[in-house]
Amino acid sequence: MTENQQSAQKLAKGRGAKFVYDELRREILTLELAPGEPLDETSLSQRFAMSRSPIREALVRLSADGLVEMLSNRSTLVAPIRLAEFPRYVEALDFLQRINTRLAAEFRSEADLKQMTRDAKAFEEACRKNDYLRMSATNRDFHMTIAAAGRNPYLARSYGQLLDEGRRLLHMHFDYIQSSATDHLLTSEHFDIIEAIRNQDVPLADKLAHEHTRQFHDRFMSFLSARYHSDFEF
């Protein structure tokens, strides 16, 4: 095989793995693939009409994202959602959300503020369309723009990991709110946070970030309560 043929083969493999990764990631985040569901490489290879190499590469990437678990017996599962750990998750999210928002209020630039506004509007538009996957993606974009404005890449990286791990929780959260006769998403909260950051009001930015986390916590707990009483199971 020539060097050019090898390069072309690697490129095709890379594109194939990315396609599989993107498709499985979307299905996991939207809960089309249920938590704990097995992912068989042979079946996926048949489904996507590819060899097992790009399938394996995609699963390794998903494992690095925390979306699948690759077990010692070489089997792979969609990562479970450990609801019992939700209080610890929110505890960590609250800390990182507050510190990153505080830093953004201190160090933000005009370019940061413009990007935050674009992200907040994109989230608002996704909410209008009830596009859950887009809602969780634009919500992440908004908060990661805030983290970037704080100029601490270590805190931003940890925050991004938590946001990624929580996207399936957000999907359930959105579904509960959209089906509720009383609850609704308060998209104005993002714009309130932007104004506090714009005014470099660090205490207010901290307060709003904390309230934003508590709102997510309280509504997700309402979802869990409704799930329990309806005997719904994953």
Single pTM value for the model: 0.79
CATH superfamily of 83-229: GntR ligand-binding domain-like (1.20.120.530)
Q: Secondary structure of 159-193 in the HEC alphabet?
A: HHHHHHHCHHHHHHHHHHHHHCCCCCCCCHHHHHH
Of the candidates 33, 143, 121, the one whose C-alpha atom is nearest the C-alpha of residue 81 is: 33
Dihedrals phi, psi of 130, to nearest 5 degrees: 55, 35
The Cα 25–Cα 61 span in angstroms is: 10
Give the mean pLDDT of 206-213: 97
The sign of the CA dihedral 90, 92, 97, 102 is positive
Instruction: Transcribe 80-92 into DSSP letters.
Output: P--GGGHHHHHHH
What is the signed CA dihedral for 105, 154, 144, 65, rounded to 10 degrees? -160
Per-residue pLDDT at 12 = 46
In whole numbers, what is the pLDDT of the chain averaged over residues?
87
Which pair of structure tokens corresponds to residue 197?
A: 């950051």
pLDDT in tens, 163-201: 988 888 888 877 666 665 455 566 789 999 999 999 999
Which pair of structure tokens corresponds to residue 217?
A: 């916590």
Per-residue pLDDT at 21 = 95
Which pair of structure tokens corresponds to residue 167?
A: 């996207």
Q: Domain ranges in the chain?
A: 3-78, 83-229
Domain pair 3-78 / 83-229, same fold: no
From 1.10.10.10, 1.20.1050.10, 3.40.190.10, 3.10.20.600, which CATH number describes the 3-78 domain? 1.10.10.10
Give the rounded distance of the alpha carbon of 149 from its chain centre.
19
Give the mean pLDDT of 105-114: 98
The Cα 112–Cα 205 span in angstroms is: 15
Of the candidates 191, 175, 176, 178, the one whose C-alpha atom is nearest the C-alpha of residue 142 is: 191
pLDDT(102) > 90:
yes
Instruction: Please tell me which residue, 2 or 145, carries the higher pLDDT value.
Output: 145
Instruction: Please tell me which residue, 147 or 166, carries the higher pLDDT value.
Output: 147
Q: Which helix (H) or strand (E) covers residue 68, if one does?
A: strand 68-70
pLDDT(232) > 70:
no
Which pair of structure tokens corresponds to residue 122?
A: 């994109």
Tell me whether residue 223 is exposed, middle or buried, using C-beta atoms within 10 angstroms of its C-beta: 0 to 12, 13 to 18, 19 or more. buried
